[in-house]
Amino acid sequence: MPDFSPAADTYLSRLSTELRDVREPLRGDIWSGIAEELDGLAETEARGRIAELGDPAFIAREAVEAGDGRPDPETGQPSYVTVTERIPLAESPKFAVAAAITLGIGGFVLPFIGYLVGVVLVWTSTLWTRGEKAIATIGPFVITVLAAYITHVIGAMSSSAEDSGNPLVPAVYDFLWTSVIGAALLSVVAMGWLLVRLRRR
């Protein structure tokens, strides 16, 4: 009995719907072949293979354009050709690598703008979970803001009352500058972490 993960089951259901305009035996061959590849895979493994297979709509469109699978009068062989699968950009590993690199060093090339572009690209890719994307894009700022605030408060409280003013209100410019630098450096760490997670897909 086939054993499909939730991701594989959803993918095969979409594939079956998209293949409705493809005639037999090609329709059955395509669905059965892909189902066999996804059978028994764990959720993470299935997601990785699905990313390689591509969008069901594209597979169906290519199948329709390739032929209907009926025997050729001259050769007696099915008239369809092998479907060449193209991975959607958002599911491409190369796109994900470019997104991670842009997130990590984009801010150094184009301050702030480059980082925002990296954030958009990372969230566009489907090869990371939402949690991983959130950690990589929000985590650096949360960590640096907290670290900068605690550092400035401790420094202010250790100073004399005459020189420090209100020890609970750190210097705004120093606080912001430290946060920006810290976030930029941690973005490089986030880039490395994303690439490691990507290799494990």
- pLDDT exceeds 60 at position 31: yes
Identify the band that residue 57 occupies on the pLDDT scale cut at 50, 70 and 90.
confident
Model pTM above 0.85: no
Please, is 131 exposed, middle or buried when counting C-beta atoms within 10 Å of its C-beta (0-12, 13-18, 19+)? exposed
pLDDT digit string, tens, across residues 58-101: 888 877 766 544 444 555 544 444 444 556 788 888 999 999 99
Does residue 117 have a pLDDT over 70?
Answer: yes
Residue 160 pLDDT > 50: no
Q: What are phi and psi of 101, to 5 degrees?
A: -65, -40
Write the CA distances from 65 to 25, 35, 82, integer angstroms. Answer: 15, 22, 11
Q: Where are the domains of the chain?
A: 6-87, 93-199
- 199 against 201, higher pLDDT: 199
Prior bond of 25 cis (ω within 30°): yes
Q: What is the mean pLDDT of residues 150-167?
A: 58
User: 78 phi and psi, to 5 degrees?
Assistant: -55, 140
Q: According to the model, what pLDDT value does residue 84 have?
A: 46
CA distance 55 to 15: 8
Q: State the alpha helices, DSSP H only, in the chain.
A: 6-18, 26-38, 43-53, 56-66, 93-109, 113-124, 130-158, 161-164, 172-199
Backbone torsions φ then ψ of 162, nearest 5 degrees: -70, -35
Maximum CA extent, the chain? 98
Query: Tokens 């990296």 — which residue?
Result: 118
Higher pLDDT, 11 or 110: 11
Contact (Cβ atoms closer than 8 angstroms) between residue 64 and residue 109: no
User: Nearest to residue 183, comparing CAs of 104, 98, 114?
Assistant: 104
Distance CA 138, CA 136 (A): 6
